[in-house]
Structure 1
Amino acid sequence: MDQSSKISPESVNSDIGEIQPTQSTRSCVCIRSKWMWIIFTIVIIASITIPTAILLTKKKNVVKTNLTPITMTTGKRSTALILTTIKSSTITKNPSTTTTTEPESMTTEAGCTWSQTATTIFGSQAGKPGSNLTLLDTPIGMYYDEPNNMLTVAEYGNKRILQFSLNDLPSAGTVIAGGNGAGCNMNQFKAADGIGFDNSGQLYVADYDCSQVVRFPSNSTSTTSGTLVGNVSQAALISVDSLTNDVYVASSTANAIYKFVNGSGLPVVAAGGNRQGNALNQLSGPNAVYYDHLYTSSLYVADTGNNRVLKFSSGSTKATNGTVVAGGNGAGSGANQLKNPRSILVDSNGTLYISDGDNNRVQRWLKNAKSGTTIVGGGTSGKASNQLNWPEQILFDRYQNLLVADRHNHRIQRFNITTC
């Protein structure tokens, strides 16, 4: 073999020496590229996960807010009814929570109808009284907290105030006042009748037999003693103006409606108080009062003995004449009559919803109408699901269902809305 064609060890080593730096350089470049991709990936992941974690943390710390949808209605105002579902600011009153919101309303069409058979949501379906936390004895006053879907009930027979959740029926109630036997001490009732809440969550209870109104602090329990607001002879249903905290109380024997300004002080006469009679400035055994600060700024009175409902202007006094807006045609069961009206609701159009005690029905009375229509009940009293026995307070829940305190059947009936 030609010597010139041979590969010497020196030449091999020289070639290897020339190749090795090139391979090392390439390896470093590859490693740097990999690290750059790893760092880039980490940056991308961090840019996604960190803001997400911050957002989730913020969401956990956000206080839930109840939003009331606003329904815009075109055309004539009479095509819709705005049903006031609560008498004052919405208050959740239980041992753990107190929430205050602005008063809310509910929109329904004028032709709304309700089922003629009810569901018993509290108390005995068979109409029997009881004293455990799932039964009632002579329920009269009620208060509905729409955002939390809670119902508060005044029990005349059990001398206590119970609060129930409507979210998971059937449910047991919680005693938030009374339940300590019969008496006129500040932790007792003889005959709890009307109830209401002010805008700070304080509970007001009218005790019919003790002739007094007692205020309980927010989050009270059966062991809590209240504070005497004032004495009102045979204090019946009450209404609280959540804007001013004025408390209106119906006095059956004084034939008057009293007002406690800002929920305290000496009561002043807001309507009646001119002896028993049927003149427009007189009342006869009024059982209920409803102050509508949302729409009409008017005071409505169930003038029970005169079988009528009177409307008084805001700021009314003993000298103010009322206007008959329902009944007033003698006691009876006719469409233009009432017999012992027990409670009132008013909507944005001035339409009245009246529990007509002795007629065992709930009447709807349009503004300026000469007669009303029966929306549930009617006829003889009874325990069937389509019957009532002396209906007391009526309310609408958030779904527009009608809630009725069925006094002598010792139950709360819910008549579901069917068409609207």
Structure 2
Amino acid sequence: MATLTTSSECSQCSKTKAQCTCRGCQGSFCTKHFNEHRQQLSVRFDQEIGEAHDELVQQIDKLTRQNKIHDDIFSEIDRWETRMIKKIQQVAEKVRRQIIELVSQGTETLNDELKALTKDIRRCRQEDDFVEEDIENLRQKIYELQSSFEKTTVSNDIEVIERKDPIKWNLLPSIPLNVKWALKGCTIAGGHGRGDALNQLNAPFSVYIDDKQSIYIADCENHRIVEWKPNSTVGEVVAGGNGSGNRANQLCCPTDVIVDKEANSLIICDRGNRRIMRWSCQRGTCGETIISNIDCSRLSMDNRRSLYVSDWKKNEVRRFDDGGTEGTIVARGSGPSDRLSQPTCIFVDQDHSVFVSDYDNHRVLKWIKDSHEGIIIAGGNREGNDLTQLSHPQGLFVDQFGRIYVSDQRNHRVMRWCDSAKQGEVIVDANNTGDSLCQLNRPIGLSFDQYGNLYVVDGGNDRVIRFNMQPN
């Protein structure tokens, strides 16, 4: 701090009796003013170093406390609740229950799945009769369980956002950037020839996968919707199945089905009867018509529960809000570059952009919300089997990176188009049409489960086939 000096003026009082020099500022001081200078430095040290250090310690200590996430989010919800009216207070309470329920259900499900997996592994080892396929199946189950665990624990980055949209807790498919799928699929439903038995399908069109891995299939020529639970060998009729007809307990050539989780019901595209029906998931024997006189082809629902329907005769897509029956046109086109011709499958992303498979124009178009013009994002180079072409596209899915997955029906393949790409890539079946588990025959619908496994409605083979996502 200080060194003795011989004879110099004090920088404070200018008297020639300075005895000390500060090593920092190089100032000379008499004894009195040197002590004052040192006291000033001590105060500055406490203010600039000590207080900042103490604040940093408190912040890090707060960060390392257990249950910080839950405390912070509930505190934020409490503050939010006091600023809002009674209706928002009710929503806040609902959010608390959903968080607790979500964590509880996730842990319970993981434990149940782990017990079942452990049982299967022990059985295989005890019986000592396993083959390569058994090992692959167990390996896939371990991978799926690991994925579920990571989704439950991966992120502590939680915040409460105030917005008008209803809060959703969805198990959305998460598809990594460099993912690949197994070359050989496995039959999940059907595959026993065309027929109306419970282990058969007849011209299936679409597949919907719920959070419990059950799949719902629009079994078109059997005029029914069937549910296949995980690992089932037969399906269960959950709507229709009473022959072709227009009564409330009948369907006629249904081409699509989705699940409305909030209403616990199925929404069905009853194409042959030109109507959209709602059918209770509680095994209701009859449905109710919610939209009539529409030449419907496919359905989709956004995160606000608005319903989207493609009309293959009017060549347009309409959105129906809050039980409306007229709808608003959200995709149609006004010129050769974006005019639709027999639109089939629809996908609506989180930004409410609408993607449409333009069947007879051999392309996929995108309508950004409130836009009056569509953009070609896949195909559009006439019909063909080149990587820049499509042939009567059907099933459609868009992942979190904006990559488009499409069933290229007449080319008997599934393609993926990256955002702004000039050409696509084949991800399933580059071996022409066929009925082996490595081939497809006129694929129609497609979807992904929460683990990123790909499900394809293999229409020409009357089956639904799954291609497992491969671990990196």
TM-score (norm 2): 0.63
Once the two structures are overlaid, the 10-residue window that deviates more, 352-361 or 190-199, is 190-199
Equivalent residue of 1:380, what SS?
coil
Counterparts in 2 of 1:156-305, with a 5 A limit? 156-166=220-230, 169-198=231-260, 199-221=262-284, 223-233=285-295, 235-241=296-302, 243-272=303-332, 278-280=336-338, 282-293=339-350, 296-305=351-360
SS of equivalent to 2:300: strand
Letter aligned with residue 200 of structure 1 = A
Contact 2:174 2:399 in 1 (8 A): no
Q: Report the equivalent of 2:363.
A: 308
From 113, 129, 132, give the equivalent of 2:194.
Answer: 129
Cα-Cα RMSD:
2.3
- The 1:187/1:309 distance shift into structure 2, 3 A limit, reads same
Q: Secondary structure at the match of 1:109?
A: coil
In the alignment, what sits opposite 1:144?
A: 209
1:19-49 deviation digits (Å, cap 9, x = unpaired)? xxxxxxxxxxxxxxxxxxxxxxxxxxxxxxx
Matching residue within 425, 432, 456 for 1:373: 425
Greater RCO, CA 8 A, separation 6+: 1
SS at 2:348 equivalent: strand
State how far apart, in whole Å, the 1-side matches of 2:198 and 2:423 are: 40
Counterpart of 2:106 (choices 66, 70, 92) is: 66
Letter in structure 2 aligned against 1:171:
T
TM-aligned CA deviation for residue 72 of structure 1: 5.8
How big is the shift at 1:397? 1.9
- One-letter identity of the residue aligned with 1:69: T
Task: Indicate how the Cα distance of structure 1 residues 173 and 101 shifts in structure 2: closer, same or farther if over 3 A, else same.
Answer: farther
The aligned amino acid for 2:177 is A
Give the distance between the partners of 1:70 and 1:185, measured in 2 at CA: 48
Please say which structure displays the higher CA radius of gyration. 1
- Return the structure number with greater helix share: 2
User: Out of 425, 447, 453, which is 1:395 matched to?
Assistant: 447
Q: Distance in 1 between matches of 2:312 and 2:427?
A: 27
2: CA distance, partners of 1:351 / 1:334: 19
Deviations 1:186-239 (A, max 9, x none): 221111101112232221111222221111234234x22323422211x11210
Aligned partners of 2:333 and 2:374 also within 8 Å? no
Task: State the alpha-carbon separation in 1 of the partners of residues 314 and 153 from structure 2.
Answer: 42
Shift of 1:176: 1.2
Quick one: distance in 2 between partners of 1:391 and 1:71?
A: 35
CA distance in 1, matches of 2:259, 2:323: 10
Structure 1 contact 197–240 (Cα < 8 Å) conserved: no
Please report how far the alpha carbon of residue 102 of structure 1 lies from its aligned counterpart in structure 2 after TM superposition.
2.3
Q: Which amino acid counterpart does residue 203 of structure 1 have in structure 2?
A: L
Amino acid at match of 2:382: G
Does the CA contact (< 8 Å) of 1:403 and 1:413 recur in 2? yes
Structure 1 residues 71 and 305, CA gap change in structure 2 (3 angstroms)? farther
1:141 Cα deviation from its structure 2 partner: 1.4
Whether 1:326 and 2:388 are equivalent positions in the alignment is no
For residues 112-153 of structure 1, the C-alpha deviation after alignment (integer angstroms, 9 at most, x for no partner) is: 11112211111025xx1121222111111111112x111111
CA 1:193 to 1:65, structure 2 compared with 1: closer, same or farther past 3 Å? same
Contact 1:257/1:273 (8 A) holds in 2: no
Deviation by residue 1:74-120 (Cα, 9 ceiling, x = unmatched):
xxxxxxxxxxxxxxx9xxxxxxxxxx972222334322111122111
Mean Cα deviation higher: 372-381 or 332-341: 372-381
Task: Please give the alpha-carbon distance, in whole angstroms, between the structure 1 residues aligned to 2:310 and 2:190.
Answer: 26
- What is the Cα deviation at residue 179 of structure 1? 0.5
Three-state SS of the structure 2 residue aligned to 1:417 is coil
Per-residue CA shift, 1:295-344, capped at 9, x if unaligned?
x431100111111111111244xxx1011111111111111111111021
SS of structure 1 residue aligned to 2:201: coil
Aligned length: 318
- Tell me the residue number matched to 2:67: none
Distance, in Å, in 1 between the alignment partners of 2:299 and 2:470 is: 30
Kept in 2: contact 1:381–1:388 (CA 8 A): yes
Does the 8 A contact of 2:385 with 2:391 survive in 1?
yes
Structure that is richer in strand per residue: 1
